[in-house]
Chains A and B, each alone.
Chain A
Amino acid sequence: MLRFAARRLLAALPVVAAVSVLVFLFLRASGDPAAELAGEDATPERLAAIRAALELDLPVWQQFLAWLGQLLHGEFGRSLISGDTVARMVGERLEATLSLALATILVSVLLGVGLGMLAARHRGGWLDRAVGLVCVGGFSVPSFVVGYLLVWWFAISLGWLPAQGYVRIGEDALEWSRRIALPAVAMSTVFLALIARITRASLLETLDQDYIRTARALGATEARVFLRVALRNAAVPIVTIIGVGFGVVLTGVVVTETVFNLPGLGRLVVEAVLARDYPVIQCVVLLFSVVYVLLNLVVDLAYAALDPRIRY
């Protein structure tokens, strides 16, 4: 297990390297930082001085290494607009995004696995078809439209839940859960559909296996066959999709935080793009990408734990 983990970690390194090169090139493509710092009416001498001070006159690969070094020392730069360190801005926004992402994953996994099991149990029946239709629907409705539908229904018409805003969990846990409920459900639609589909397909495949017949022949109850034997063996693809689906959750975060006015990283990056605040954009893009790569790594390790047959 340790050797497998080490090898998998090594395999993730080139991907992280490729990502950091891409993000670095993005920063370079976004314009000349020296010109932006110097202002409109800078003399060529002043520009050259700033360039030398920022080491922009070095070859690109040396700049890249220097930038990488700064990242490793925890220096992520400063916002061009407020002058705050990007690390602090990201830190302040982390809680809302993390709450939303975790609540979404919880809702989607519970409902998705449940729906998938229901469909597999009634394979070919009308329940199966209904779940299939719900899934295609989930893939087709943008999460912000679901969000607005929920606001319209539960917040405006019924008045059960607040329409917008965020309360930190440390301040008032009950109010926090009331604020996070609608956005989490809105964001779940796509993810839930993805999980339900994979669960159904994966369960149907395992239910065809010989060992299921053996378990039934040995007198295991249908519930036991379904939950203990089939679900455990079908778990690997389900866990994979939870990792892959993080990209989906992220798209949801960016737009859902805007709909519900939550002070999270998604809101931060949208504001940064509208203000052309490149260091902030760069940092959030890099952060999300690294988390995405790491999450897929964790998923791969979870495989090995779930299914001892998997070894690379």
Chain B
Amino acid sequence: MTAALALARRHGALAVGGLLLAGFVLLALCGPWLGGADAQAMLPGQRLRAPSALHWFGSDRLGRDVFARVVHGSGASLAVGLAVALLSGLVGTLLGLLAGYVRWLDGIIMRVMDGVMAIPGIMVAIALVSVLDAGLGTVIAAIGINDIPRVARLVRGALLSLREEPYVEAATMLGTSGAGIVFRHMLPGVLAPLAVLCTHIAASAMLLEATLSFLGLGLPPDIPSWGNIMADGRTLFRVAPWIILFPGLTLASAVFAINLLGDGLQDALEARRG
């Protein structure tokens, strides 16, 4: 506990980001039991109300409480961030390990990665979403593909430099199998920078999901993700700016928390390494 406190004092960004994010996760998990207004309840008499004590974030054109919808939608937005980070982290690590360890695969894998990286992320996502059916899985895959090359490059680069380390040579000479060397001796050395990269991937994935959903190219409209709530407010912005501004600022603070956490993590790791 005292160690954690000392760490928090030394790494303010890490602590603030972590606490904020924990708050958002708690909100997403407990949202349904928080009581208050129902996210789907339509109150015809309460259409397009400005923010007040009753409707903290105002109400939309169907009389739904925007705050309740933002709480309800936090799960979807956070889930996309987490899923994209996990997906691109796992696939990218696997490809990076293959490229870094199996020499003849290196050229092929890395050229394909260069190709994917050369297509701007939103274009990959737009192309995929236009071909596949709309859904949570499609959006996660479409966003995740962009980040796979970043992970693969990081892992491959680290592997190439680790390959020359004496302890890896020692393990080779002791007759450890290729897979054993990669997973037991080399992978742990990559985990720290990988964790930092994955936090930033989660943050940018949440932004891209909101952007796609806002454009009508993301999650199906019946999922009240933050992007979808904002998409609802697009034509009404002059009359009811709160439908876009409040979910937008909520999204921004969640992404801010994750970015702060990533930066803090990086500083902490650099400090440890000296």
Known A-B contacts A255-B215, A273-B217; A247 and B248 likewise in contact (beta carbons under 8 Å) = no
B120 touches A251 (CB 8 A): yes
A50-88, CB < 8 A from B:
none
B252 touches A142 (CB 8 A): yes
Chain B residues whose C-beta falls within 8 Å of the C-beta of A152 in the assembled complex = 237, 241, 245
Known A-B contacts A15-B114, A269-B126; A22 and B259 likewise in contact (beta carbons under 8 Å) = no
B243-269, CB < 8 A from A:
244-245, 248-249, 251-253, 255-256, 259-260, 263
With beta carbons under 8 angstroms apart, the residue of B129, B230, B259 that contacts A140 is: B259
A289 touches B211 (CB 8 A): no
A274 touches B217 (CB 8 A): yes
Q: In the bound complex, how far is the Cα of B115 from the Cα of A247, in angstroms? A: 14
B237 touches A151 (CB 8 A): yes
CB distance from A115 to the nearest CB of B (A): 17
* Mask of A136-148 contacts with B, CB within 8 angstroms, 1/0: 1101111011001
Q: In the bound complex, how far is the Cα of B119 from the Cα of A278, in angstroms? A: 17
CB distance from B109 to the nearest CB of A (A): 12
B130 touches A276 (CB 8 A): yes
Query: Is B122's CB within 8 Å of the partner chain A?
Result: yes
Query: Is A26's CB within 8 Å of the partner chain B?
Result: yes
Q: In the bound complex, how far is the Cα of B237 from the Cα of A306, in angstroms? A: 46
Chain B residues whose C-beta falls within 8 Å of the C-beta of A148 in the assembled complex = 237, 241, 244-245, 248
* Mask of A273-295 contacts with B, CB within 8 angstroms, 1/0: 11010100110110011001100
Q: B-side binding surface: helix, strand, loop or mixed?
A: helix
B215 touches A281 (CB 8 A): no
B119 touches A139 (CB 8 A): no
B5-50, CB < 8 A from A:
none
B248 touches A140 (CB 8 A): no
A258 touches B215 (CB 8 A): yes
Query: Is A47's CB within 8 Å of the partner chain B?
Result: no
A156 touches B238 (CB 8 A): yes
Q: In the bound complex, how far is the Cα of B132 from the Cα of A273, in angstroms? A: 11
Chain B residues whose C-beta falls within 8 Å of the C-beta of A246 in the assembled complex = 120
Query: Is B214's CB within 8 Å of the partner chain A?
Result: yes
Chain A residues whose C-beta falls within 8 Å of the C-beta of B122 in the assembled complex = 250-251, 254
Query: Is A43's CB within 8 Å of the partner chain B?
Result: no
Which stretch in B58-66, B84-92, B168-176, B202-210 binds the other chain? B202-210
CB distance from A156 to the nearest CB of B (A): 6
B114 touches A18 (CB 8 A): yes
Query: Is A174's CB within 8 Å of the partner chain B?
Result: no
B115 touches A145 (CB 8 A): no
Closest to A247 in B: B120
Closest to A157 in B: B241
Chain B residues whose C-beta falls within 8 Å of the C-beta of A141 in the assembled complex = 248, 252, 255-256
Query: Is A201's CB within 8 Å of the partner chain B?
Result: no
Chain B residues whose C-beta falls within 8 Å of the C-beta of A278 in the assembled complex = 130
Q: In the bound complex, how far is the Cα of B116 from the Cα of A292, in angstroms? A: 12
A273 touches B126 (CB 8 A): yes
B115-164, CB < 8 A from A:
115-116, 118-123, 126-127, 129-131
Q: In the bound complex, how far is the Cα of B126 from the Cα of A60, in angstroms? A: 24
Closest to A255 in B: B211
Query: Is B273's CB within 8 Å of the partner chain A?
Result: no
Query: Is B54's CB within 8 Å of the partner chain A?
Result: no
Closest to A272 in B: B130
CB distance from B123 to the nearest CB of A (A): 5
Chain B residues whose C-beta falls within 8 Å of the C-beta of A145 in the assembled complex = 230, 244-245, 248-249, 251-252
Query: Is A14's CB within 8 Å of the partner chain B?
Result: yes
A128-167, CB < 8 A from B:
136-137, 139-142, 144-145, 148-149, 151-152, 156, 163
Query: Is B103's CB within 8 Å of the partner chain A?
Result: no
Query: Is A19's CB within 8 Å of the partner chain B?
Result: yes
Q: In the bound complex, how far is the Cα of B112 from the Cα of A163, in angstroms? A: 42
Q: In the bound complex, how far is the Cα of B214 from the Cα of A19, in angstroms? A: 27
Q: In the bound complex, how far is the Cα of B131 from the Cα of A156, in angstroms? A: 38
Closest to B214 in A: A144
B256 touches A140 (CB 8 A): yes
Q: In the bound complex, how far is the Cα of B207 from the Cα of A289, in angstroms? A: 21
Chain B residues whose C-beta falls within 8 Å of the C-beta of A30 in the assembled complex = 130-131
Query: Is B272's CB within 8 Å of the partner chain A?
Result: no
Q: In the bound complex, how far is the Cα of B142 from the Cα of A29, in angstroms? A: 14
Q: Sorted from nearest, which 4 A-B pairs have the closest CB atoms? A: A18-B115, A145-B248, A140-B256, A140-B255
- Beyond A140-B255, A289-B120, A293-B118, 13 additional pairs, beta carbon < 8 A: A18-B114, A140-B259, A142-B211, A142-B252, A144-B211, A145-B230, A145-B251, A149-B245, A251-B211, A255-B214, A270-B216, A276-B130, A281-B126
Q: Which residues of B pack against A, CB within 8 Å?
A: 111-112, 114-116, 118-123, 126-127, 129-131, 203, 207-208, 210-211, 214-217, 230, 237-238, 241, 244-245, 248-249, 251-253, 255-256, 259-260, 263
A–B complex contacts, Cβ < 8 Å, 21 sampled:
A14-B111, A16-B118, A18-B112, A137-B256, A139-B255, A141-B252, A141-B255, A142-B211, A145-B251, A148-B241, A148-B248, A250-B122, A254-B211, A270-B217, A272-B130, A273-B126, A273-B130, A274-B217, A276-B130, A281-B130, A292-B119
